[in-house]
Amino acid sequence: MGKKTTIYDIAKKLNITAATVSRALNDNPRVSQATKELVVKTAAEMNYEQNRLALALKSGKSMNVGVIVPYINRNFFSTIIRGIEEELYPMGYHVIICQTHDEAKREKETVQNLLNAQVDGILMSLATDSEGEEHFKQVLKKNVPLIFFDRKKNVVGASSVCIDDFLGGFEATQHLIEQGCKRIAHLALNRSLDVYKNRFEGYRKALKKNGLEFNEQYIIELESDFEAGKEAAEKLMKLDPPPDAIFSATDHGALGAIKYIKSKGVKIPDQVCVVGFSNEPFTQFMEQSISSVDQSPLEMGKKAARVFLEQLEQKGKEKIVKEVVLTPKLEIRQSSLRNI
Amino acid sequence: MGKKTTIYDIAKKLNITAATVSRALNDNPRVSQATKELVVKTAAEMNYEQNRLALALKSGKSMNVGVIVPYINRNFFSTIIRGIEEELYPMGYHVIICQTHDEAKREKETVQNLLNAQVDGILMSLATDSEGEEHFKQVLKKNVPLIFFDRKKNVVGASSVCIDDFLGGFEATQHLIEQGCKRIAHLALNRSLDVYKNRFEGYRKALKKNGLEFNEQYIIELESDFEAGKEAAEKLMKLDPPPDAIFSATDHGALGAIKYIKSKGVKIPDQVCVVGFSNEPFTQFMEQSISSVDQSPLEMGKKAARVFLEQLEQKGKEKIVKEVVLTPKLEIRQSSLRNI
């Protein structure tokens, strides 16, 4: 291994004194925030890793940030994580990722575990069946910033970054109505989570605004994704009359529905239009591409990271909680675009 | 929150004394390994979390295991991680995931970072440009088990779990030859990594065995995946004669090649057969499904976790290093199956 970077190397590079570098790295209030950030960034660039533990011990920071998601293998979540890393890595932070497999029990354990591992912040998305607030309160009690992204809970002291799911649901449904669809089914997921509730409410609002009847039979709440999407489509296509469009709250649900519908020789989009939600990459890869609502996950991750950094700066002062809402974007593709 | 589980609850459930439970949890040599495992498993099931930190402090264990992969958003890697979790979670271990974005610099930092975070073991797959051994030696010097999966390095003291990539490359190429293909191109990735070198060698061996000429022009080493696969296909299809088959060392490379070939009106599999590697889910989802070599990632993850647990048991005794090699399985689908 090469020669280790010292604070003298960093000082030379930035043309400041080694004492200032040391103070900056130790979060001394006599150094401005701008200088601190510059020093931390430069230290990271110059590979000042070796002394990071000593720094962490002195400053009481681990320079680790914990990120918790239901599943790492959803493009939506892995892209959010990439966004978080893109913002935090240049600031000297390392991101530790944990998945809950969408289970409330694991969510609790993982939060506790990350606290034990002394992370400087927790950025997370809820498990579908998440329950209680005690584990979140423990985080905040330790003065560790807690930022929810996408699936959030209203906990006093926690911040959040989400998209406007209501608008996403509304626009997807409005688009289907504009394609001439009149009997629009909706595949929901657990509506005790805000994200799925709001997509459903957006769907309802669009029906109402266009004078279309709301039909409870056309609403199916999926327990899982791909397979459940197939089964839901089977149920729906047996109705009399069957729906002429499906707005699914997830892309995997839409994919399952499409597979079933095609297997029955029913034409998409001529007989049934389909729109998904999340804009997972496979929606583009398919030979017949799938319309979907994009949730700008990269931006969501970056924004969550920036909220975390802001909260760190407020340490000691009064905490300002942020609630950021991003705008979704409907990507219209072959599965719902009729030649009209 | 409900009443906390105590060691008395665990003792009652297992019909042993609380002292035995306590000794088992503290890794006391007077308790058999079987009892220790049973107690740890039961404690995890009964939510004995709250006391985990105390346990960790007493035993010198953090009960955290670090897993490092190039990218979390590849199904191959996320499935390995799931396999690791399925084995370790019932034993009371939590898995912390880090991604290197396939960069050597981040790999070094991440290993250091996980050591700082006091993990009990590191299970990892190399970055493509991984260099040096110093960071791996540091892990082993601290008596922390190091297990490579898939992309491994031969470091004294480290174990590994891989598939037989040579066999995978050989069988994919043999299959293409049996479809009547004679001019088989190969899309490789960085062959300084064993996995890609061995897939290439397997390909060469199959050509040789069948008396087919090896043509250097038909070998393209991709720098990335999907886009590079497109460009590679463009180059290959301009050759005279162009290849009548492509064996790609990655599924994303195969996907890019297929997209380009189809856009030129060339028929798959009639004019060009294509086989990928990794059996990513999209290879099945495609309307024309893609043949691919399955690497049994779930089994690979479970096996790596079991090797880790074995190494823990050997603590203090002489370390036995394991090299596990799993057998790949060729999944033949529409992109390479001719009606012959």
CB-nearest to A72 from B78, B287, B288 is B78
B286/A285 CB distance under 8 A? yes
A64/B105 CB distance under 8 A? no
A72/B81 CB distance under 8 A? yes
B94/A98 CB distance under 8 A? yes
B98/A97 CB distance under 8 A? yes
Q: For position A180, what pLDDT does the model report? A: 96
A62/B117 CB distance under 8 A? yes
For residue B45, the chain A residue with the least C-alpha distance is A105
pLDDT range class, residue A30, cuts 50, 70, 90 = confident
- Between CA A169 and CA B240 the distance in angstroms is 52
Position A61 pLDDT exceeds 50: yes
- Between CA B229 and CA B247 the distance in angstroms is 11
Residue A109 contacts B, CB cutoff 8 Å: yes
Highest mean pLDDT among A24-28, A50-54, A275-279: A275-279
- Between CA B148 and CA B158 the distance in angstroms is 7
Strands (E), A165-307: 184-188, 219-221, 245-248, 273-278, 291-294
Do the bridges between strand A273-278 and strand A291-294 make them parallel or antiparallel, or are there none, so unpaired? parallel
Residues in CB range of A73: below 8 A, 6 or more apart: B72, B73, B75, B78, B79
A52/B116 CB distance under 8 A? yes
For residue A74, the chain B residue with the least C-alpha distance is B73
Which chain B residues are closer than 8 Å to A62 by Cβ?
A: 116-117
Q: Which of B151, B164, B86 is nearest to B124 (CA)?
A: B151
- Between CA A116 and CA A106 the distance in angstroms is 15
Lowest mean pLDDT across A50-54, A120-124, A244-248, B292-296:
A50-54
Share above pLDDT 90 across residues of chain A, in percent, rounded to a whole number: 68
Domains and CATH numbers, chain A: 7-50 (1.10.260.40), 62-163+297-326 (3.40.50.2300), 165-294 (3.40.50.2300)
For residue B49, the chain A residue with the least C-alpha distance is A109
Q: Which of B172, B146, B123 is nearest to B276 (CA)?
A: B172
pLDDT tens for residues A310-333? 988 876 666 788 999 999 999 999
Confidence (pTM): 0.79
Q: For position B211, what pLDDT does the model report? A: 97
A113/B94 CB distance under 8 A? yes
Mean pLDDT of A105-130: 92
Position A79 pLDDT exceeds 60: yes
Instruction: Please check whether residue B59 is in contact with residue B31, taking contact to mean a CB–CB distance below 8 angstroms.
Output: no
Q: For position B49, what pLDDT does the model report? A: 54
A98/B101 CB distance under 8 A? no
B97/A94 CB distance under 8 A? no
A105/B47 CB distance under 8 A? yes
Q: For position A312, what pLDDT does the model report? A: 85
Please indicate whether residue A79 or residue A226 has the higher confidence score (pLDDT): A79
Preferred mutation among B102, B113, B251 to probe A, highest tally of A CBs within 10 A: B113
Preferred mutation among A51, A109, A116 to probe B, highest tally of B CBs within 10 A: A116
pLDDT tens for residues A158-214? 999 999 999 999 999 999 999 999 999 999 999 988 999 999 999 999 999 999 999
Q: For position A53, what pLDDT does the model report? A: 44
CB pairs under 8 A between A and B: 93
Q: For position B225, what pLDDT does the model report? A: 79
Q: For position A106, what pLDDT does the model report? A: 94
Half-sphere exposure of residue B8: CA atoms within 13 angstroms, side-chain side: 2
Q: For position A54, what pLDDT does the model report? A: 47
Residue A103 contacts B, CB cutoff 8 Å: no
Residue B115 contacts A, CB cutoff 8 Å: no
CB-nearest to A113 from B47, B64, B287 is B64
Q: State how far the alpha carbon of B134 is from the alpha carbons of B110, B153, B179, in Å.
A: 13, 12, 47
CB-nearest to B94 from A1, A110, A134 is A110
The length of chain A is 340
Please indicate whether residue A53 or residue B172 has the higher confidence score (pLDDT): B172
CB-nearest to B285 from A49, A95, A282 is A282
Residue A47 contacts B, CB cutoff 8 Å: yes
- Residue A24 corresponds to which tokens in the numbers above? 């900056």
CB-nearest to B117 from A117, A132, A255 is A117
Q: What is the dihedral of CA A83, A87, A90, A92, to 10 degrees?
A: -100
Which chain A residues are closer than 8 Å to B99 by Cβ?
A: 81, 85, 97
CB-nearest to B72 from A81, A132, A286 is A81
Dump the DSSP string for B272-326.
Answer: -EEEEEE--THHHHSSS--EEEE--HHHHHHHHHHHHHHHHHTTTS-----EEEE
Q: For position B17, what pLDDT does the model report? A: 86
- Between CA B318 and CA A301 the distance in angstroms is 45
Chain B, 159 to 218: residues with Cβ < 8 Å from chain A are none
Q: For position B23, what pLDDT does the model report? A: 80
ipTM above 0.90, yes or no: no
Residue B263 contacts A, CB cutoff 8 Å: no
Mean pLDDT of A133-159: 93
pLDDT range class, residue A122, cuts 50, 70, 90 = very high
For residue B50, the chain A residue with the least C-alpha distance is A112
B52/A116 CB distance under 8 A? yes
Q: Please write down the HEC assignment for all residues of B79-94.
A: HHHHHHHHHHHHHCCE
Element (H, E) at A224: none
- A207 sits in the region (left: phi over 0; alpha: psi -120 to 50; else beta) called alpha
Instruction: Please check whether residue B170 is in contact with residue B208, taking contact to mean a CB–CB distance below 8 angstroms.
Output: no
CB-nearest to B282 from A62, A72, A285 is A285
Preferred mutation among B4, B50, B62, B96 to probe A, highest tally of A CBs within 10 A: B96
- Between CA A127 and CA A103 the distance in angstroms is 6
User: How close B324 gets to chain A, by Cα (Å)?
Assistant: 26
Q: Which residues of chain B have pLDDT under 50?
A: 1-2, 50-58
For residue A54, the chain B residue with the least C-alpha distance is B116
User: How close B200 gets to chain A, by Cα (Å)?
Assistant: 27
Residue B57 contacts A, CB cutoff 8 Å: no
User: How close B105 gets to chain A, by Cα (Å)?
Assistant: 9
Preferred mutation among A96, A110, A251 to probe B, highest tally of B CBs within 10 A: A96
For residue A110, the chain B residue with the least C-alpha distance is B94
